[in-house]
Amino acid sequence: MSLTYGSVCSGIEAATAAWHPLGWTPAFFSEIEAFPRAVLAHHYPKVPLHGDFTTIEAGQYQPIDLLVGGTPCQSFSVAGLRGGLDDDRGNLALEYLRLADRLRPRWLVWENVPGVLSSNGGRDFGSILGGLGELGYGIAYRVLDAQYYGLAQRRRRVFVVGYSGDWRRAAAVLFERESLSGHPAPRRKAGKDIAPTISARPTGGGGLGTDFDLDGGCVVTAPTLRAGGNKTGGDRPYGTDVDTCDSLVVAFDTTQITSKANYSNPQPGDPSHPLTSGGHPPSIAHPSAVRRLTPTECERLQGFPDGFTDIPWRGKPNAPDGPRYKALGNSMAVPCMSWIGRRIEMVEGIQ
């Protein structure tokens, strides 16, 4: 079943990368940042691209089935000042609700950082959910971690799904029968000798003061990050020509992903910490060397095709690394959005 959706705070459109294989059609995008706008215009030149989504009016487009958006997370992040809904960026969550009221889609999908759950003592998130209820949407929310959906990074995000008039359909999207059985997986014991975080802080970048943060390098990252005879076929030992180590390869098969939502203590072989939005390159570490991840590897860490953000930019044939790191760090994880899309498709097929 093909759905039509509108996307706000679109970034580089993880939703479309995830939902295009389902045959879904975007009615419009909305993004204010210059480089993500250029990425969208490059890949989707026929889709209307707004700046400020609050200017989208009722009746401006044909009715849509779904409204998706990941409104700015900085006001809710534990790494920021946590201005919550009083912050202009946090208040865009309420503007998302006002847009939903104008467009009245059947489905809503909203994403943010886990810090939204505790912002202002939980009252901010309660206001968002209460607003959805006042609009007549039944809702469900869940924290999903990208490491359980085929990506080599820990990236926990809150996903809220709403369905007009029926909370059961929203819950059926986010929760499988086995996850409601009351028998959670046993917690793992804490590991030993886990390497500390190493973050690269080159000059320039996105200017948000945060970095991609890959915890423990080759000790706790996925084995595909390694360059010595690993799954990528590399044969260079660390400490020798590390700047040309083989690139990360993520085997993404949406038919095999799981949805385990909890994470306790990192163990050897676990995926890396999440990419963040600072525009700085992440690093992988080994006792003898440190290597920055390439933008292509970061595209793979988020589930995008290789070269997706390598577009012409400001008169040059290739974009510099800084805007690419920032745009990827701000993006949703494509496999998580793919899973949600397929679950919505499944529920749509239930009479």
- Other C-beta atoms lying within 10 Å of the C-beta of residue 175: 16
Cβ-contact 212, 199 below 8 angstroms: yes
218 half-sphere exposure, CB direction, 13 A CA radius: 16
- Count each helix (H run) and each strand (E run) in the chain, helices first: 8, 11
Distance CA 246, CA 123 (A): 46
127 half-sphere exposure, CB direction, 13 A CA radius: 18
Catalytic residue among 9, 73, 218, 245: 73
Gyration radius (Cα) of the chain, Å: 20
* Residue 198, phi then psi, degrees to nearest 5: -125, 120
Distance CA 332, CA 9 (A): 11
Alpha carbon of residue 273 to chain centroid: 13
Cα 202-206-209 angle, rounded to 5 deg: 75
Distance CA 25, CA 38 (A): 20
Taking CA atoms, 305 is separated from 11, 34, 65, 235, 248, in Å, by: 15, 21, 27, 24, 13
User: Under DSSP, is residue 293 helix (H, G, I), strand (E, B) or coil?
Assistant: coil
Distance CA 254, CA 273 (A): 21
Structure tokens that stand for 305 in this block: 């095709």
Catalytic, 298? Answer: no
Catalytic sites, residue numbers: 73
